[in-house]
Chain A
Amino acid sequence: MNDQRISTGIAGLDALLHGGLVKGRTYLVTGDTGTGKTIACLQLLQQVLTQGEKAVYVTVDERPSEITDSALSFSWNLQHHIQEKNLAILDASPYFSGRSASATEKGIDPQKIVADLSSYVKRLGASLLIIDPVTPFILPADAKSPTQDQARSLINLIQTQMSTTNLLTAHLSTRSSHDQTFGIEEFLASGTFLLKAQRAGDKFQRSLTIRKMRSTAVLPGEYPFEINSTHGIVFQDRAASTQTDAPPMFENFQLPAK
């Protein structure tokens, strides 16, 4: 059976992923502040819109106008897609800022969140859903750290109620040992990407690590990339070329089926 793939819009990455993300699955992008999570989302978004597909982008930390502005800095005009009803940017921040009053008692109800999202997605006919970041949706009002139950049910609901390909982001501080992704990865059907910006000599080196990728023969590895103003995330030659004209350096041996 052939998996249908959707291009991530990141050339070197698509090659690594044998074409892109598997359609209809859920993916997680984690990384510290400023590592490029939102840019990765926007790039996938732009790619999908360019293909004539529709998308829903849920933002929590930034306002929709900030999202469209940062897209515009890469010359990706989202405004146009919003007008054409190819894209809906949903601002969830009022919900969370109002939490102290009404939402505290109820906590966060994944059932309701997903039902609301699902109706938007269906009305628009979207094939891509981005939640950037997903973390607030799984943070119960009464606890400092999110619960695994909440994460599990949110992801299960997303997977069962929608046919979209889903990209979720979660902040992950490399400076703190506290893992804010608290195992979202475990429940995710399909894949996790970790973005990093590390000091290398006198400059920062950005890298993407594929931590998990179902249905795709890719070894976990760290791939350097750059962000430029015309293409967004661009994999550096070395990573892209070693991977395209050579097989992965290490191939995990599997016993032949009996």
Chain B
Amino acid sequence: MIQTERVPTGVVGLDTLLEGGFPKGRSILITGEPGTGKTIFALQFLHEGIKRGENGVFVTADESPIDVIEQAASLGWDFAPYIQNKQLAILNAAAYFSSFSGAEPKIDVHKTVGDLAGFVNQFGAQRLVLDPASPFVLPRDSAARIQDQTRSLIQQLRASLPTTNLLTSYAVPSIGERAIHGVEEYLVAGAIVLEMIWRDGDFARSLIVEKMRYTDIKPHQLEFDIVKGEGVVLSACGKTTKHG
């Protein structure tokens, strides 16, 4: 029987549910509104990789690399030595996108992934994060075009990179449709939605695995906490299984 190779996410409890982790070499989409934990999830994914000797590349399009490192530090993860030891690279695409100042950014998915692949392969990365992925596929253009670009991005990532990829995207509640979510549903190997829910008179964080190829998981809402030193920890099983 052919077994799907798995890439552990580092999220205690989630890996068990995912039969070991994400399918290796594929793209997974995480959507959620600002503050729901997308970047933390992504950092945890890379941190887990580095602990296992897998190099990682984090592509940031909104936040500065310093902000990303500080966010990791706030969770108790010191990423600076990883960068020094060339286990982790943070590629900053923010300067590129901001340089257009209002004009439509020039996006060529072929060239983007080509440039990225050149770097990622040279770096020997096995995990790649695009946080967020939307700027790379969102020109001010028709929805059809976005869909083409997204398909092309995901196909190219798969064709030219050996990495397991984590793409993040905003949910856009006003439109009632997540920015590039809905498009990816059938393109990515997995889709995870992060949400804040109102429960017992307080906010709670929740995670829904909407889709995960090759994995027998029923969509249901999992509550989680963000814990210093551990990152995302599922509420139900986190504390009891983390040492197991």
Q: Is the interface of A mostly helix, strand, loop or mixed?
A: loop
List CB contacts (< 8 Å) of A243-258 with chain B.
245-255
Choose, from A94-102, A158-166, A215-223, the stretch at the interface.
A215-223
A245 to B105 Cα, complex, angstroms: 11
Q: How far is the CA of A209 from the CA of B121 in the complex (A)?
A: 14
Structural contact, A252 and B91, CB atoms closer than 8 A: yes
- Point out the residues of chain B lying under 8 angstroms from A4, CB to CB: none
For residue B106, CB closer than 8 A to chain A, the reply is yes
**Contact A238 B91, beta carbon cutoff 8 Å:** no
Query: Is residue B193 within 8 Å, beta carbon to beta carbon, of the partner chain?
Result: no
A222 (CB) vs chain B CBs: closest residue: B114
Residues in chain B near residue A250, CB distance under 8 A: 59, 91-93, 96, 115-116, 119
A222 touches B106 (CB 8 A): no
- A-B pair count, CB < 8 Å, reads 67
Q: Does B83 lie at the interface of the complex (its beta carbon under 8 Å from any beta carbon of A)? A: yes
Residue from the list B84, B96, B112, B115 in contact with A247, Cβ < 8 A: B96
**Is there contact, CB below 8 Å, between A220 and B119?**
yes
**Residues in A whose Cβ lies below 8 Å from that of B116:** 250
Residue on A nearest B115 in the bound complex, by CB: A221
Establish whether residues B106 and A247, one from each chain, have CB atoms under 8 Å apart when the complex forms.
no
Give every chain B residue within 8 A of A211 (Cβ-Cβ): 118
- Asked if A73 is at the interface (CB within 8 A of a chain B CB), the reply is no
A209 adjacent to B100 (CB under 8 Å): no
Interfacial residues of chain A within 145-195, with CB under 8 A of chain B in the complex: none
Question: Does A242 lie at the interface of the complex (its beta carbon under 8 Å from any beta carbon of B)?
Answer: yes
Instruction: For the complex of A and B, list the 3 residue pairs with the smallest distance between their C-beta atoms, beginning with the closest.
Output: A253-B65, A220-B118, A250-B91
Q: Which residues of A contact B (CB under 8 A)?
A: 209, 211, 219-222, 238-239, 242, 245-255
Query: Could you list 12 A-B pairs, sorted by A, with CB under 8 Å?
Result: A220-B118, A220-B119, A221-B111, A222-B114, A238-B108, A249-B93, A250-B96, A250-B115, A250-B119, A251-B92, A251-B95, A252-B90
